[in-house]
Amino acid sequence: MRLFSPLYEKAMQWARHRYAPGYLAGLSFAESSFFPIPPDVMLAPMSLAKPKQAWRLAALTTIASVLGGLLGYAIGLFAFEQVAPLLQDRGYWQHYLTAKSWFDEWGVWAIFIAGFSPIPYKVFTISAGAVSMALLPFAIASLIGRGGRFFLVAALMAWGGERMEEALGRYMDLIGWLVVLLVVILLVIFKL
């Protein structure tokens, strides 16, 4: 059943759109402070579709993400009491408590780890502001962590280039169904 390959083809069309870099910057900014979808979902196909622009796209993603992180920091610093109920309602409260304990234990390294990993970065930016972390170390750790992640994604996609794009197009349905199967298996395991 061809369910995933048409979606992949559409994503690759969008990745080549002339306004795609602006959308990527907007998504990167928003994800660092309040939006749930990570910019990797746009950066990867854009770097794959335009491998010669991969480094520029990674830099754009990094800068926009760090600026969004600064907004998240400001939200935590100046409006945490208003945001705390949203964190609880959206299921991010436990992530906030984890972030807070990481700051107590590892300090600025927590931002670097959150910036590079798939951990919800926005929770760490808001938490950093809420605990009044020093702004300069926060910004530097964010730049290094986010930059490392986004440049790695862009490099891997650019390296694969047209061959990877063709292979993904050919096997996208199989990959998509395997991911669905893996998610179902993980859900069953964690429910037991």
For residues 109-113, give the mean pLDDT: 89
Contacts of 154 (CB under 8 A, 6+ apart): 43, 47, 54, 55, 57, 58, 61
Top mean-pLDDT range of 37-41, 44-48, 59-63, 129-133 = 59-63
- Give the DSSP H/E element, type plus range, for residue 18: none
User: CA torsion 44→178→121→160, rounded to 10°?
Assistant: -20
User: What is the pLDDT at residue 40?
Assistant: 84
Q: Quick one: pLDDT band at residue 102, thresholds 50, 70, 90? A: confident
135 token code pair: 């702004």
pTM given for the model: 0.78
User: What is the pLDDT at residue 165?
Assistant: 64
Closest to 24 (Cα-Cα) out of 48, 10, 41: 41
pLDDT higher for 82 or 117?
Answer: 82
What does the angle CA 36 – CA 20 – CA 55 come to, to the nearest 5 degrees? 90
For residues 30-49, give the mean pLDDT: 86
**Within its chain, how far is the Cα of 74 from the centroid?**
19
Task: Tell whether the model's pLDDT for residue 14 goes beyond 90.
Answer: no
Handedness of CA 8, 12, 14, 19 (dihedral sign): positive
